[in-house]
Amino acid sequence: MHRIRNAGIASAFLLIGAAAGWSVEISLDEAIIEAGLRNPAIQASEWDLRKAEFELWEARGALFPGVVAQAEYTRHEYPTLVEPMREQPGPAAPELAFDDEIYSGAVRLTVPIVNLPAIAGVDGAQAHVAVRRAGGEQREQLVLARVTEVFVQAAQLDDSLMLLHAHIAALERRVGDLRALEAEGRVTGAEVAVVEKALDLAESELLELRHHRDTLATHLGELLGREEAIAPSRSRLVPADLPDNDRPGGPELRRADADLTAAEAAKRGARYSFAPSLDGFLAQTARSGADRDFATEWSAGLSVTIPLLTGGERVARLKSSDAGVKAAQNTYESARLSELSALHNARSRWENAGRRRQLIERAIHSQERIVTAAQDRYDEGRAPVSELLDEETTLLELRMQERRLLYDQLLAFVSFHKTGGTLSPETVTFLIEN
C-alpha cells in the first residue's frame, strides 16, 4: 500500500510548496510522490483498511474472556427470599429473610471454551482485511498509472506541438513569399489561397492540441488532490522492455482470491452455527432486601448453548453462504482470465507499436526525400505549390504518427505493469530518459 508514498524531506517540501502555490508545473517524480500523499482515493483505501483491521480486533475479542457487571432492582408481588440459603432452617439457624423489594448485583467472568462461530468470524475478518489491502493496492496502481499516463500524453502533445509549430512557421514564411510574388504578378491568388488554407488548418489543429494540454493539467490536479490545474512538466520518455513473466497475480486477482477466502469463511461460520458452544463462568453475586444489607456468594460452572430451532435462519444462511462461495469462485476465475487477457493484449500492443514505429521511421526517411524532390520541382516551376504542400503535410502526419506509436508503446508498458501489480516509482523511472 505504501510503495508510492514517501515520508521523507522531499515529500514534506512538496506539500509545503503545493500549499503555497509555488509552481504550476510538476515533474513526474514529484507527481507520483504527491499523488501517494494526497490522492483522496488512496486515502480512502487506507481508512478502509484500518476499519477492517479494527473489525478483526472486534472479531478476536469474542475468543477472549469477558467480565460484565450487572445491577438489578425488582419489586415482587409477594415477598421472596432475600439472601441465599446456606443451611437448612431450624433451631440452630436463623429464620430466612423475605422481602418484596430485592436489590441484586453481580460481577461475572465468562471464558469461551468452545465457540466455533467466533473462530469462523475471525477467519472472515482476516479475509476482509486481505480484501481491503488488495483493493488498496489496486487503487494505488490505478492512480499511479493515471498519473504516468498524463505525463505520457503530455509528452506526446508537446512533440506534436513542436512539429506543428515548425510546420506553421514554414507555412507563414511561404505565405509571405507568395504574397510578394503575387504583388509582382508572378503567382496567382489561387496559389496563395492554397497555402493560406493549409496555414489556417494547421493553426486550428494547434488550438486543439493546446486545449488537450490544458485538459491534462486539470486531470493531473484532480489526481494530486488539488483544486487547481497542475501542468505536467516536459519529460523525455523512452520505451522500456517488458518482463518475460505473463503469469497472473495482480491486485485484481489477489482481491478476488481474498473475496473467495472470505466467502469460504462465511460458509464455515454458517456450518458452525449448528454446533453447540461451551463457556465457563465465575461470578460473585450480591443480594439484599429493602434494608440493603447485602450478602454475597461466589459461583462457578459451565454453560452449554445448543441451538435447536431458529425458524430456518441457519439453514438459509448456510445456503446463502454456499451460493456466495460459488459466486466468488466464478469471480476469481473471471479475474484470472481477464488478467491473462489484459497482460497478453498489453504485450501485443507494445510489440506491435514498436514494429510499426520502425516501419514509420523508414517511411519518414523516404518521405523526406520525396519532399526534397517536390521542393526542387516547385522551385523550378515544374510543380504547383499544392503538390509541395501535400507532400509536406504527409511528412508531418508521418512524424506525428511515429510519435503516437512511441507513446502508445509507453502506455502499453504502463498498462502491463498496472495489470500485473508491478507498477512502482522505480518502474516508471525506466521510462525517463536521463
Long-range CB contact pairs, 212-215, < 8 A, 24+? 212/153, 212/157, 213/154, 213/157, 213/158, 213/161
Query: What distance in Å separates the CA atoms of residue 77 and residue 90, rounded to the nearest whole number?
Result: 27
Nearest to 410 by CA among 434, 382, 431: 431
Q: Where do the structural domains in the chain lie, given as residue ranges?
A: 9-58+130-273+313-429
Nearest to 199 by CA among 179, 166, 162, 172: 172
Nearest to 67 by CA among 347, 297, 281: 281
pTM for the complete prediction? 0.79
CB of 48 closer than 8 Å to CB of 258? no
pLDDT score recorded for residue 9:
38
Query: What distance in Å separates the CA atoms of residue 61 and residue 79, rounded to the nearest whole number?
Result: 41
Which residue has 492554397 as its cell numbers?
Answer: 194
At the top level of CATH, the class of 9-58+130-273+313-429 is mainly alpha
CB of 105 closer than 8 Å to CB of 68? no
Query: What distance in Å separates the CA atoms of residue 32 and residue 96, rounded to the nearest whole number?
Result: 80
| Cα dihedral across residues 21, 25, 29, 34: positive or negative | positive
Query: What distance in Å separates the CA atoms of residue 233 and residue 154, rounded to the nearest whole number?
Result: 8
The DSSP H or E segment spanning 79 is strand 66-81
Query: What distance in Å separates the CA atoms of residue 194 and residue 202, rounded to the nearest whole number?
Result: 13
CA 6 to centroid of chain Cα atoms = 18
**CA–CA distance from 378 to each of 170, 262, 383 (Å)?**
15, 75, 5
**CA–CA distance from 184 to each of 177, 179, 180, 181 (Å)?**
11, 9, 7, 5
Nearest to 200 by CA among 230, 176, 231, 168: 168
Which residue has 499511479 as its cell numbers?
Answer: 144
- Calculate the CA dihedral of residues 179, 184, 185, 188 and round it to 10 degrees: -10
Nearest to 223 by CA among 384, 4, 75, 383: 4
Q: What is the grid cell recorded at 322?
A: 454456499
**Which region holds residue 109: left if phi is over 0, alpha if psi is between -120 and 50, else beta?**
beta
In this structure, what are the phi and psi dihedrals at residue 294, rounded to the nearest 5 degrees?
-75, 140
Query: What distance in Å separates the CA atoms of residue 107 and residue 105, rounded to the nearest whole number?
Result: 7
Collapsing DSSP to helix, strand or coil, 76 comes out as strand
Burial code (b: 16+ CB inside 10 Å, e: under 16) for 8-35 equals eeebeebeeebeeeeeeebebebbbbbb
Collapsing DSSP to helix, strand or coil, 263 comes out as helix
Amino acid at 23: S
pLDDT score recorded for residue 84:
72
Query: What distance in Å separates the CA atoms of residue 338 and residue 332, rounded to the nearest whole number?
Result: 10
Query: What distance in Å separates the CA atoms of residue 329 and residue 138, rounded to the nearest whole number?
Result: 20
pLDDT tens column, 354-368: 999 999 999 999 999
pLDDT tens column, 1-27: 444 444 333 444 344 444 444 347 899
Query: What distance in Å separates the CA atoms of residue 244 and residue 350, rounded to the nearest whole number?
Result: 13
The DSSP H or E segment spanning 78 is strand 66-81
Collapsing DSSP to helix, strand or coil, 433 comes out as coil
| Positions in the chain short of pLDDT 50 | 1-23
Count the alpha carbons within 13 Å of 143 in the hemisphere toward its beta carbon: 31
Query: What distance in Å separates the CA atoms of residue 366 and residue 373, rounded to the nearest whole number?
Result: 11
